[in-house]
Amino acid sequence: MNARWRLIALTSVAAAGACGSEPDPRIEVLGRCEDHDPTRRPFFGDLHVHTSLSLDANLKGTQLGPVDAYRFARGEAVALPPYDAGGGSARTLQLGRPLDFVALTDHAEFLGLMQTCTTPGAPGYDHPNCVNYRESPAAAFLGLNAALSLEGALAPAPCTETGCPQATLDAWAQVQETAEAAYDRTPACRFTSFVAYEWSGSPGTRNLHRNVIFRNHVVPRTPFTYFDSDDPEELWDALARQCTDADTACDVLTIPHNSNLSSGLMFEQQRRDGSPLDADYARARAAMEPLVEVFQHKSDSECLPEQAEGGDPLCSFEKSPYHTLSAATLGGERVPANPRDYVRDALGQGLALGEALGTNPFAYGLVASTDTHQSIPGAVDEETFAGHGGAGAAAADWRPDRLADLAWFNPGGLAVLWAEENSREALFAAMRRREAYGTSGPRIVLRFFAGDYADDLCAQPDLAARGYATGVPMGANLPGAIAAPAFAVWAQRDPGTAARPGVPLQRVQIVKGWLDGGGPRFQVFDVAGDANNGAGVDVSTCTPTGAGADELCAVWRDPGYDPAVRAFYYARAVENPSCRWHTAACNALGVDCTAGGVPPELAGCCDPDMEATIQERAWSSPIWTGAPGGP
């Protein structure tokens, strides 16, 4: 029995066990890991990763596959493109600290096309699409991906013409087998892998992409693609039929990303057929989609500076000058951002929808990830950014005398899950209950509770235990019985490594959104630290100046709290300023923007829209109040 059919057989056994026969021992319960902690610990990972199985990554020069991505995540060095005739490379990359978990989310669309087009003798190898794939990868990248921008469910799927169905099954089996092989099932629980894929719909090049994450190894026979339907609602329906309602051990959730490139579509308040949102839609979306990716290498999707009373300058962070996927890839005119594309606004609109429909369809917890297309999950270091090889610069075109990627791209972020142990069951449960947060790259530790707390909670050694005992953590709904809650937030700086120390924290904020007259309003409160601590950075050398904090904690009470008003609160922990990746790279290349004559490949060094410094951060999931029964 070959590996593919062996895995399918094992999946069938698990499904049979769920129906009453002998259960598959790989369906887990909490308590398997030797470091089980009932007050939960933060686990750092990446839930958005592409390998050579993804069409766009492969066409841009990525040759590292799923096995390589897992090796990298666990701390091994990998060689990156371009490669010489003998397979050698001039550059390698290695994480300073391994990740705890990873989901490889190769695109469902065209899954298997790469194997078809690069395997002589395979059915479809000589098809014109495959000939073009091999001979003109840049043209194939544009041509094949254009199919993902067509409106309607009948978008052409070139893979059906080239004999890809079997290749798709083989590639999907490879996804499952490598995830199973990478997963540490010993009591040490050093690493967790999730079976996953990306549904990559972008009608009119407006981004609607979702990462589809499965709880365990029991998964549908094939991924559901944009060619099956261009409607996310039909994706959720298919996942319910094939997984959550299938009377098996299958469970799944979806995570939308890059709402900043959706041009108003991701959080649109009508269905794809133009009908208004209703209670059934709200319940389906809330059940299937508990998280949203607030940050990744194609920019930040949190907020715009004007989306708060008095403004919010910290929203001017890693913003894209473009607002569709095609513009992000090809450039063009830079247009003003659409406020509806940002997560903060969606959270606010969700309050109103929850009041009207009985269920909030936008009750999102927040995570971040990389969206790397080079099989390098967690490669978020600003100083060693190697590019991500997807919509930006091709990995195969890397040279040491140019920027590793488009200047406005960034290294991406990390997802952090508060869980009892590093197992699929515990981590997936954290995602489901939204006890999760995202960082723009640093390993900042962030906790956020709301409840009935004393003002001295920060001084207590059992802060977390007390936080759970008389309140709720990030991602939860606060019971209405607590009439005047306290919000407790604790942040710890990323210590970094011996070679690369982390950056101190500058401040911690709490962002509030609430309904006023039927519409959302927003306000930002500094609750710990000091915005005027004098910290800075010498951009000519990237040397930091000034002081900061190793740890910040506050117990804060909202002076405008009204238990009858629907509201949400989330925490934002912000580091001192540091050099952005392109600043360090341009310094190393000796670029002088005042001298003129800067070559086109280094024009990003002198782009006036690019900030030389950044303030890295972490965003907690919200806590909702004033909504009986849930957000």
Sort residue 92 into left (φ over 0), alpha (ψ -120 to 50) or beta.
Answer: beta
Mean pLDDT of 587-602: 91
Note whether residue 34 is domain-resident. Answer: yes
Residue 459 has pLDDT above 70, yes or no: yes
Residue 154 has pLDDT above 90, yes or no: no
pLDDT for 408 equals 92
Question: Are both 463 and 434 inside the same structural domain?
Answer: no
Confidence of residue 619 (pLDDT cuts 50, 70, 90): very high
Mean pLDDT of 342-364: 97
Render pLDDT for 513-569 as a digit per residue (tens, 0 to 9): 999 987 899 999 999 999 999 999 999 999 999 999 999 999 999 999 999 999 999
Question: Are both 391 and 361 inside the same structural domain?
Answer: yes
Domain boundary among 441, 470, 487: 441
pLDDT for 138 equals 84
pLDDT for 126 equals 86
Render pLDDT for 362-414 as a digit per residue (tens, 0 to 9): 999 999 999 999 999 999 999 999 999 988 889 999 999 999 999 999 999 99
Question: Are both 525 and 428 inside the same structural domain?
Answer: no
Confidence of residue 348 (pLDDT cuts 50, 70, 90): very high
User: Any idea of the CA torsion for 65, 71, 75, 77, to the nearest 10 degrees?
Assistant: -60
Mean pLDDT of 229-243: 95
CATH number at residue 484: 2.60.40
* CA atoms within 13 Å, Cβ hemisphere of 136: 9
Question: Are both 384 and 476 inside the same structural domain?
Answer: no
CATH number at residue 224: 3.20.20.140
Report which of 502, 500, 470, 498 is spatially closest to residue 573, judged by C-alpha positions.
502
| Interatomic CA distance for residues 180 and 196, integer angstroms | 12
Question: Are both 128 and 86 inside the same structural domain?
Answer: yes
pLDDT for 163 equals 56
Render pLDDT for 71-85 as a digit per residue (tens, 0 to 9): 999 999 999 999 998
- Residue pair 19/247 in contact (Cβ under 8 Å)? The answer is yes
pLDDT for 630 equals 78
Domain boundary among 422, 441, 460: 441
- Residue pair 398/404 in contact (Cβ under 8 Å)? The answer is yes
Mean pLDDT of 162-185: 90
| Interatomic CA distance for residues 545 and 556, integer angstroms | 29
Note whether residue 599 is domain-resident. Answer: no
Structure tokens at 291: 């998280």
Identify the weakest region by mean pLDDT among 8-22, 102-116, 475-489, 584-598: 8-22
Question: Are both 272 and 412 inside the same structural domain?
Answer: yes
Question: Are both 477 and 354 inside the same structural domain?
Answer: no
Mean pLDDT of 425-429: 97
Question: Are both 432 and 475 inside the same structural domain?
Answer: no
User: Edge-to-edge, what's the strand order for the sheet holding 551-556?
Assistant: 471-473, 445-451, 486-492, 551-556
Report which of 110, 392, 371 is spatially closest to residue 256, judged by C-alpha positions.
371
Report which of 84, 97, 6 is spatially closest to residue 377, judged by C-alpha positions.
97
Q: Is the dihedral of CA 389, 393, 394, 397 positive or negative?
A: negative
Mean pLDDT of 242-251: 95
> 152: Cβ–Cβ under 8 A, 6 or more apart, which residues?
230
Neighbours of 229 (CB within 10 A): 20
Residue 162 has pLDDT above 60, yes or no: no
Residue 158 has pLDDT above 60, yes or no: no
Confidence of residue 463 (pLDDT cuts 50, 70, 90): very high
* Mean pLDDT (the chain, rounded): 91
Across 132-136, 157-161, 378-382, which has the greatest mean pLDDT? 378-382
Residue 155 has pLDDT above 50, yes or no: no
Note whether residue 322 is domain-resident. Answer: yes
Note whether residue 608 is domain-resident. Answer: no
Q: Which residue has the higher pLDDT, 92 or 11?
A: 92
| Interatomic CA distance for residues 438 and 624, integer angstroms | 18
pLDDT for 357 equals 96
Count of domains for the chain: 2
Confidence of residue 171 (pLDDT cuts 50, 70, 90): very high
Q: Cis (ω within 30 of 0) for the bond into 82? A: yes
> 2: Cβ–Cβ under 8 A, 6 or more apart, which residues?
none
Neighbours of 604 (CB within 10 A): 21
Q: Which residue has the higher pLDDT, 362 or 153?
A: 362
Mean pLDDT of 577-598: 94
Residue 153 has pLDDT above 70, yes or no: no
Render pLDDT for 2-45 as a digit per residue (tens, 0 to 9): 333 233 333 333 433 444 446 677 778 888 999 999 999 999 99
Report residue 194: phi and psi, to 5°.
Answer: -120, 140
Question: Are both 195 and 308 inside the same structural domain?
Answer: yes
Note whether residue 262 is domain-resident. Answer: yes
Q: Which residue has the higher pLDDT, 167 or 289?
A: 289
| Interatomic CA distance for residues 483 and 535, integer angstroms | 39
Question: Are both 482 and 427 inside the same structural domain?
Answer: no
Q: At 13, is the secondary structure helix, strand, or coil?
A: helix
Question: Are both 35 and 72 inside the same structural domain?
Answer: yes
DSSP-assigned states of every residue in 410-448: ----EEEEEESSSSHHHHHHHHHHT-EEEESSS--EEEE
Identify the weakest region by mean pLDDT among 108-117, 214-223, 455-464: 108-117
pLDDT for 161 equals 57
Confidence of residue 128 (pLDDT cuts 50, 70, 90): confident
523 is in which domain, residue-wise? 444-577+615-631
Domain boundary among 408, 441, 474: 441
Mean pLDDT of 229-253: 96
pLDDT for 16 equals 39
Note whether residue 585 is domain-resident. Answer: no
Of the chain, the percentage scoring pLDDT greater than 70 comes to 94
Note whether residue 143 is domain-resident. Answer: yes
Note whether residue 591 is domain-resident. Answer: no
pLDDT for 149 equals 82
Question: Are both 58 and 187 inside the same structural domain?
Answer: yes
Task: Compute CA distances 337 → 302, 306, 489, 553, whole Å.
Answer: 12, 11, 31, 34
